Structure 1
């Protein structure tokens, strides 16, 4: 089978398509015949070697943390999934990235606890574009920030892969959604459910007004944005521009008003089943920037690093 790999750490030029054997579904896993997989910020960090402390430096390593496709095999001790089921899933934990096979591949063996039947309302490309952003946003807004109806929710980066899902999910939870993004994204943000829009290039934090909840998908200037939280406000960070961003979150849990929250990227067991139901019930749509076939995965990584990205880059695998 073909899989996207790195045999060295570097920029988009380091990505190659390699031939490997089809994995078998071990106990607790399902083997998925992949239709589509998206690019995420963690893929760029992995490719560049920024996660080497977790993945190690032994190469090759496979790329891709999400998958949409059809169950082709079921390992022992798996319940609720059968061969032929159309599913989506997320690779669990950075340590699994040590493997030579990722999910941007023709087949992927996936922990069944992080796989669910895919939403009926989305096709395979749309599902791939939504699974990580949808999971991240739903967990951040509903479970961590506990958004209540009528609360003002500010989404920084509301036209990106995570942000575009967050705007819709915040609105579905009853929030009054304000978006901070590039000026050219205003029409898109409002079509996703935003009630207010601010151009990030000309808007200072103080001019936005108080927010009950802030979802930050950007990772910069966290302390400045924390200051616009209303009394009892909550801020959740899901992206970090540097180790300093992580240090800021850690410090906020000890000092100052308005603790900045975050959470581990791995979904709790079975969480994607609830995400599927939420997406279908609330008609959450995916935002796809561009689609590439697997043989052009290097071009996909190059497009991911280009300015002006709106939504997700998706890599498809021919049946």
Structure 2
């Protein structure tokens, strides 16, 4: 099969297309023929091996996972002996997690990391949901505990996670303030944002509104600035790093570490978001999508052999919402 492989950390030119063996599913796995895959900021960090401290988990001298990509949608080709909830022919979507491997014609994945594709979404739209959608869902629901009437600020509202977070926050009954650049103001408004702050003109930290939840997806502001727009007992959810362009030891991990250190000493909740792929969250995303409450926004699509160009577009900070690979 064809796959995008990488044998050393570096720029998009280190990604090459190669012929590799079709994987064989283990007893608890399913084999999926990939119809679409999606890029995430995670994929950029994994490609660059940046920040450098992350290489302790990803591989010190070279990527431990040779095939890039996490998010995918496709059809099940075969199942392992112990698989009970997925059958050949099923249309599914999922997240491979740190194992990677989605930029390929076939993937093997545990049945606990896939779910039935939303019936009203194309494979391209479904592939754009898993990692970004789970991040948005966990940040707002599991951690932020957003309820009707809550005021939510989303810093980085036009990105892959942000565009989904705006829609989910509205679905939960919140009043949403979205922070983005000038060119994305109309986009986030069309997704349901009640208030939009154009960061090229205004500083949300000086806004008089106070929010029950601040969801930081960028990592470009201090803890003091983020806490300033919270209510006294509000929740700050840290999942930043979107504007970090590499070249340091810690990168956005520095802000996250400071948040963890400060959290026990303040009334406001400061929570560092960690995510993991699960069928339960994928099923919830499917339910929201099929009910018309959640529609992924796709900026551009590229064929498999143009993954390096897609990654270059992503890291150039021009991408809004999701960039998708078609097979």
User: Does the alignment reach a TM-score above 0.5?
Assistant: yes
| SS of aligned partner of 1:236 | strand
> For 1:259-295, what per-residue CA distance to the aligned partner results, in whole angstroms no more than 9, with x for missing partners?
3213322134533122211221243111111100001
In the TM superposition, 1:238-253 aligns within 5 A as 238-240=239-241, 241=244, 242=251, 243-253=253-263
User: How many residues of Structure 1 are paired with residues of Structure 2 in the alignment?
Assistant: 311
Which residue of structure 2 lines up, in the alignment, with residue 54 of structure 1?
57
- C-alpha separation between the residues in 2 aligned to 1:207 and 1:309? 27
Aligned match of 2:159: 160
CA distance in 2, matches of 1:208, 1:37: 41
1:18-60 Cα shifts (integer Å, max 9, x gaps): 1100001112111110011111111111111133211213557
Q: Is the 8 A contact 2:134 2:275 kept in 1?
A: no
Q: Does 2:287 match 1:277?
A: yes
Residue pair 2:157, 2:165 contacting (<8 A) in 1 also: yes
1:140-289 equivalent positions in 2, closer than 5 A: 140-204=139-203, 205-207=205-207, 209-223=209-223, 224-240=225-241, 241=244, 242=251, 243-268=253-278, 270-289=280-299
> Which residue does 1:131 correspond to in 2?
130
Q: Residue 93 of structure 2: SS of its match in structure 1?
A: strand
User: In structure 2, the residue corresponding to 1:147 is in which secondary structure?
Assistant: coil
Out of 79, 83, 86, the residue aligned to residue 81 of structure 1 is 86
**Match for residue 309 of structure 1?**
319
Against the structure 1 CA distance between its residues 208 and 22, is the aligned structure 2 distance closer, same or farther, given a 3 Å change threshold? farther
**Equivalent residues in 2 for 1:53-132, closer than 5 Å:** 53-56=56-59, 57-58=61-62, 61-92=66-97, 94=98, 96-97=99-100, 102-132=101-131
Distance 1:270 1:142 in 2: 13
Tell me how far apart the structure 1 counterparts of residues 119 and 208 of structure 2 sit (CA, whole Å): 38
CA deviation string 1:98-122 (max 9, x = no partner): xxxx111100001111100011121
C-alpha deviation, 1:126, in angstroms:
1.1
1:23 matched to 2:23? The reply is yes
Alpha-carbon distance between aligned partners in 2 of 1:269 and 1:128, rounded to the nearest angstrom = 14
SS in 2 for 1:18: strand
Uncovered stretches (5+) of structure 1, i.e. residues with no partner: none
Query: Which residue does the alignment assign to 2:40?
Result: 40
Q: Is contact 2:155-2:214 (8 Å) kept?
A: yes
CA distance in 1, matches of 2:222, 2:293: 31
Mapped partners of 1:179, 1:158: distance in 2: 5
In 2, are the aligned partners of 1:114 and 1:271 still within 8 Å (CA)? no
Contact 2:171 2:293 in 1 (8 A): no
Q: For the Cα contact (< 8 Å) 1:253–1:260, is it kept in 2?
A: yes
